[in-house]
Amino acid sequence: MQSPSPQPAALNLSQLIARHVRRHWQAYAASALMLAAIALMTVWIPRQVGTVVDGLASGRLAGRALLQELGWLLLAGCGIYVLRAGWRLALFGAAYKLGRDLRTQLYRVLTLQGPEFFQSQRTGDLMALATNDVDAVEMAAGEALLAAFDGSLTLLLVVAMMTVGIDWRLGLAALLPFPLMALAFARISERVHLAWKSSLDRFSALNQHVQEGLSSVRTLRALGLTGRNADQLSQLAQDAGDASYQAQRWEAAYEPAVGMTLSAATATALGLGGWLVAREELSIGQLTAFTMYLGQLIWPMFAAGWVLSLLERGRAAWRRLGPMLEAPLTLADEGRAAWPPQAALTLEAVDFAYPVAQATTEAPTAPRPALQGIQLELQPGQTLGLVGPTGAGKSTLLKLLLRQFEPDGGGIRVGTLPLPAIALQSLREGLAWVPQEPFLFSASIAENIALARPEASPAEIEAAAQMAAVHEDIQRLPQGYQTVVGERGVTLSGGQRQRVAIARALLSQAPLLLLDDALSAVDTGTETQILAHLRELRSRHPERSAIIVSHRLSAVMEADQIVVLKAGRIVERGTHAELLTLGGWYAAQWRYQQLEASLDAL
């Protein structure tokens, strides 16, 4: 998968919307034409009503002529109805595409980031970005543009009809209070922006708490912490509700500003208009049309407040979402080569240390090496066993092979290719990884096993399950292979989850199998059965290699090579028999585990 094109660093919300409008200009142009037609018919209606009123007052309109004039009004109303439905379909259809594009781009960026990125991010925040924040940007590109265009056009036409079409003195008098409304809008908009930023931040915190609580619900129950967790949720929900309420309060402040402005404009216009009618410089029909035009100013004024609210909400959301879309990838995908077949895996003097987050008030701390001078070679078809005490660097070595991190020194090669030269997609297809805590999706067991090969037949899925010694367990489940395991495989035991993950890895047919302490939750009998099936699989497919990380030495005793890591260094290497004769850590640990097994058998 290629990296998505990053957003330009200086891209702001206005530029984002402008680029989207250019991309979907046909939909926006069609919406603008329909809105323009609606605005023209809307401002024509009061003038037509004024003409009808004057005609009735003078006795010029009656019978068929009156019905004809009223028919034109009815036709204009029907046309406005049809055109309003049309622009909504066109405009919102284009705006929803922006939301789709942003969510797709955000997902692509997140899936290409390495573990270092997610160590500084919270799942709840990322989920909030894909929901509330994208919705806010989408509304700015849809409803805000609609209201801005429709409100501005209606305002211009209404003001033109009031000043040019009826009486310029009356029009100017009605517009006198509007500068004060503009000042009020500027003040309110600033408050709306800050309030919506706070609301989005509070929603992210609430989202994160809910996600963590649901993921760890069994742990919370076991520790008796459900009550405290519920209290924390209640407080976060209260904070989020208060922040949203404050934002809505400031948005509501637009309405009084509009109401007071229009009231002042109406009072001024009626006072001056009545005086002009008394002087016979204005007809009653013209004054009626003018007051209708004043009523039509309600929408442009409310539209101005609505636009400012949506834009400030969108700006607050884009300030959170934009940097995430622009974040540099912590894992570069610049390779173009495919995983070479029948190739040896070589590690040459590999050094690595996890990055350390520095506190601003403390002196810089040198990162502690996790791996130092690792020199290894694994030929096709061979099995490598990695053992050692906790924290020795075994899982870290696998993470480097998976390119979750890059070595600080030395290099890793597959055949003659450096690991970064292989495209990430091909690299991941070449590795079948079973982590210490395997992840199962909320789907059927068959779907979980066939994750890497959705096209696999039921017979192939069952064969993989049999090699992982989980076939009989699956058959005892209510729906067998069609049993839905729940989120993260919650309905299965730890050993069953591990074996389903092993079956998934075996079905993938990847050249290199990585088992990161993946047999820790199974008994020794099941472990022996799985290892025997792995030996059988390698005999049928000599090109497939395996690296087995285990605290239980019986899992690696038949490996072609066993490496003992301690404090990030290789301290012993050889076969099982060779390591026993050395009398080092491996031999001592073997004797201890054998004694422990003997005592358990009593």
The DSSP bridge pattern shows strands 345-353 and 369-378 to be antiparallel
Mean pLDDT confidence for 576-590: 90
CA–CA separation, 325 and 133 (whole Å): 12
CA neighbor of 407 nearest in space, from 439, 455, 375, 453: 375
Residue 341 and residue 544 in contact, taking contact as beta carbons nearer than 8 Å: no
Contact 419, 427 (CB under 8 A): yes
Banded pLDDT at 218 (limits 50, 70, 90): low
Q: Which helix or strand (DSSP H or E) is residue 400 part of?
A: helix 394-401
What is the C-alpha to C-alpha distance for residues 497 and 482, in angstroms, rounded to an integer? 15
Give the sheet arrangement for strand 417-418, strand by strand: 369-378, 345-353, 409-414, 417-418
With a pLDDT cut of 70, the percent of the chain lying above it is 84
Report the pLDDT value the prediction gives residue 58, as an integer from 0 to 100.
65
Report whether pLDDT(352) > 60.
yes
pLDDT of residue 165: 66
**CA distances to 229, 428, 477, 547 from 526, in Å:** 39, 28, 19, 19
- 421-444: per-residue pLDDT in tens? 988 888 888 888 888 888 888 888
Q: Note the pLDDT of residue 571.
A: 92
119, two tokens: 């160590």
The pLDDT assigned to 1 comes to: 35
DSSP, residue by residue, 275-316 = HHHHTTSS-HHHHHHHHHHHHHTHHHHHHHHHHHHHHHHHHH
Q: Is the pLDDT of residue 564 over 90?
A: yes
Structure tokens at 508: 């993938």
- pLDDT reported for residue 6: 39
Closest to 427 measured CA to CA, from 331, 494, 516, 491: 331
Please report which confidence band the pLDDT of residue 602 belongs to, taking 50, 70 and 90 as the band edges.
Answer: low
Decide: 204 and 236 in contact? Cβ < 8 Å.
no
User: Looking at residue 375, what is its pLDDT?
Assistant: 92
Average pLDDT value for the chain: 79
Check residue 5 and give its pLDDT. 39
Helices (H) and strands (E) in the chain, counts: 23, 10
H helix intervals, 122-161: 123-128, 134-141, 143-160
More confident residue, 388 or 114: 388
**Element containing residue 31 per DSSP (H, E):** helix 25-58
Say if residue 321's pLDDT is above 70: yes
**Torsion of the alpha carbons at 251, 253, 257 and 263, rounded to the nearest 10:** 110
Rg (CA), the chain: 36
User: Which one is predicted more confidently, 24 or 587?
Assistant: 587
Q: Hey, is 458 helix, strand or coil?
A: helix
Residues 296-309: tens digit of each pLDDT: 676 677 777 777 77
Q: Which helix (H) or strand (E) holds 412?
A: strand 409-414
> According to the model, what pLDDT value does residue 593 have?
84
The residue assigned the tokens 């265009």 is: 149
Note the pLDDT of residue 561: 92
Residue 2 confidence class, pLDDT cut points 50, 70, 90: very low
Highest mean pLDDT among 142-151, 210-219, 474-483: 474-483
> How much of the chain is in helix, strand and coil states, percent to nearest 5?
65, 10, 25
SS (H, E, C) 168-237: HHHHHHHHCCHHHHHHHHHHHHHHHHHHHHHHHHHHHHHHHHHHHHHHCHHHHHHCCCHHHHHHHHHHHH
Domains of the chain: 13-326 (1.20.1560.10), 345-353+369-601 (3.40.50.300)
Q: Which residue has the higher pLDDT, 103 or 65?
A: 103
What confidence score (pLDDT) does residue 569 get? 92
| pLDDT cut 90: percent of the chain above it | 8
Strand ranges for 10-78 from DSSP E: none
Q: Is the pLDDT of residue 245 over 80?
A: no
Kindly report which listed range (73-77, 391-395, 448-452) carries the lowest average pLDDT score.
73-77
- Summarised one tens digit per residue, pLDDT across range 87-142 is 677 777 777 788 888 888 888 888 877 777 777 777 777 887 888 788 888 888 77
Q: Which of 3-12, 237-246, 268-277 has the lowest mean pLDDT?
A: 3-12
Name the range with the highest mean pLDDT among 215-229, 387-401, 479-493: 387-401
Please determine, for residue 576, whether its predicted confidence score (pLDDT) is greater than 50. Answer: yes
Residue 600 has pLDDT above 80, yes or no: no
Which whole number is the average pLDDT over 507-517? 87
Does 292 have pLDDT greater than 50? yes
